[in-house]
Amino acid sequence: MKTIGYAALSPSTPLAPFTFERRALRANDVAMEILYCGVCHSDLHTARNDWGWTQYPAVPGHEIVGRVTQIGADVTRFRVGDAVAVGCLVDSCQECDHCHQGEEQFCTNGRTDTYNAPDRITGENTYGGYAKHLVVREEFVLRVPDTLTLAHVAPLLCAGITTYSPLRTWNVGPGSRVGVIGLGGLGHMAVKLAAGLGADVTVMSRTNSKEADALSLGADRLLVSSDSAAMAAAQSHFDLIIDTVPVKHDVNPYMPLLKVDGTLVLVGQVGPLAEPTTVPLILGRRRIAGSLIGGIRETQEMLDFCAKKQILPDCEMIRMDQINEAFERMERADVRYRFVIDMASLPAPSAQ
């Protein structure tokens, strides 16, 4: 199937229109028309080759919402017309212990990311959701509860699950104290989800410019991370801190803010950290951990939780041709709080 999208052709050139083929439907595949796609900072890292493993052309986008247009002969859980979503994963071995446990992101034989990864069968580079159409095997398609407004669902598929998963892993609930470093796409979902789970939530931001937003998103307070007196006053406060900072940074100022046995979980920056000191770790049995998105089962659980609590991301809708400007604004942390591309702005290939 011929489709159109936007691709990065090199680390230094703007994303540009790109026509390509989606694979012919396999028996267990679902084909969808993409209606909306969120813009994650990982899309920007990939377009710019920040992690050093980008294959060009690269079609980013892993916060995908659309409607089923066709199903393969063996598909049982979806019908044409269903509202569906796809996140960061499109395949895994389905046989290893991690896949059996519903944690396909840790597949022993290698997960397949929605973009910039080799297809398990053909080896071809996967292309993501900055496009009009997508073909994905049934097991990696999520059902969108019909009480959620479709135009706002997309960021749940990465920003939502990436913050929900550590909240669940570390058993956050009423009485928990959660800190969130960086109020961007992931950060604002961390606030909404932690508040939705009943936790006391503190945003840690570089300035106080997002304070009113933080409170209206559901946080109990905003702590300015550059204010050393305020940081000192917050010592031994948190059970869990979710760190969404997208660049190399220093976690040392945050560690003493954890209680004994508290955990700082990194979900931002894939790569080196400024050198952590062991002092707060050893003296408080504190931990630095990491977390990668979440499995399909947990992603569906998160979507259903958001439907039940009516938790939706704050979205700024853009046209596909505004993506380069959106990337620049995201780099300046000027996004409140997730760009979502309206794919109706991208003409179908036949209309070109």
State how beta strands 238-243 and 258-266 pair. Answer: parallel
Min separation Cβ 292 and Zn ion, Å: 11
Exposure string of 88-104, with b = 16+ CB inside 10 Å and e = fewer, is bbbbbeeebebbeeebb
**Is position 126 an interface residue for ligand NAP (rule: CB under 6 A)?**
no
CA gap 164, 144 in Å, rounded? 17
Which 22-51 positions form the footprint of ligand NAP (CB under 6 A)? 40-42, 45
Of 208, 279, 207, 290, nearest in space to 242 by CA: 290
Backbone angles phi, psi at 297, to 5 degrees: -60, -45
Rg (CA), the chain: 20
Nearer to ligand NAP, 89 or 199 (CB): 89
**How near is the Cβ of 105 to ligand NAP at its closest, in Å?**
8
Q: Which is nearer to ligand NAP, 22 or 155 (CB)?
A: 155
CB of 42 to Zn ion, least distance (A): 4
The CA distance from 143 to 30, in Å, is 12
Binder among 182, 256, 262, 313 for ligand NAP (CB under 6 A): 182
Binding partner selected for residue 186 from ligand NAP, Zn ion, none, CB under the kind-specific 5 to 8 Å limit? ligand NAP
* Bridge partners, residue 37, by sequence: 64, 341
- What values do phi and psi take at 217, rounded to 5? -75, -15
For the chain, the first-to-last Cα distance in angstroms comes to 15
> Given CA atoms 147, 144, 60, 155 in this order, what sign does their dihedral have?
positive
263 binds ligand NAP (CB under 6 A): no
205 binds ligand NAP (CB under 6 A): yes
192 binds ligand NAP (CB under 6 A): no
Of Zn ion, ligand NAP, none, which one does residue 35 interact with (CB within 5 to 8 Å by kind)?
none
Contact residues for 55 (Cβ-Cβ < 8 A; gap 6+): 116, 125
Distance of CA 271 to the CA centre of its chain: 17
Confirm or reject binding of residue 241 to ligand NAP (CB under 6 A).
no
Query: Among residues 37, 71, 136, 186, which is the contact residue for ligand NAP, using CB under 6 A?
Result: 186
Q: Please, which residue, 3 or 299, has the CB nearer to ligand NAP? A: 299
- Choose one: 52-60, 171-179, 183-191, 314-322; the region binding ligand NAP (CB under 6 A): 183-191
Residue nearest to ligand NAP (CB): 184
Of the candidate spans 3-11, 109-117, 228-236, 288-296, the one that interacts with ligand NAP by CB under 6 A turns out to be 288-296
Residues between 51 and 110 that touch ligand NAP (CB under 6 A): none
Binding stretches for Zn ion (CB under 5 A): 40, 42, 158
Work out what residue 4 binds among ligand NAP, Zn ion, none; the CB cut-off runs from 5 to 8 Å by kind.
Answer: none
Residues that bind ligand NAP (CB under 6 A): 40-42, 45, 158-159, 162, 182-187, 205-206, 210, 244-247, 249, 267-269, 291-293, 330, 333, 335
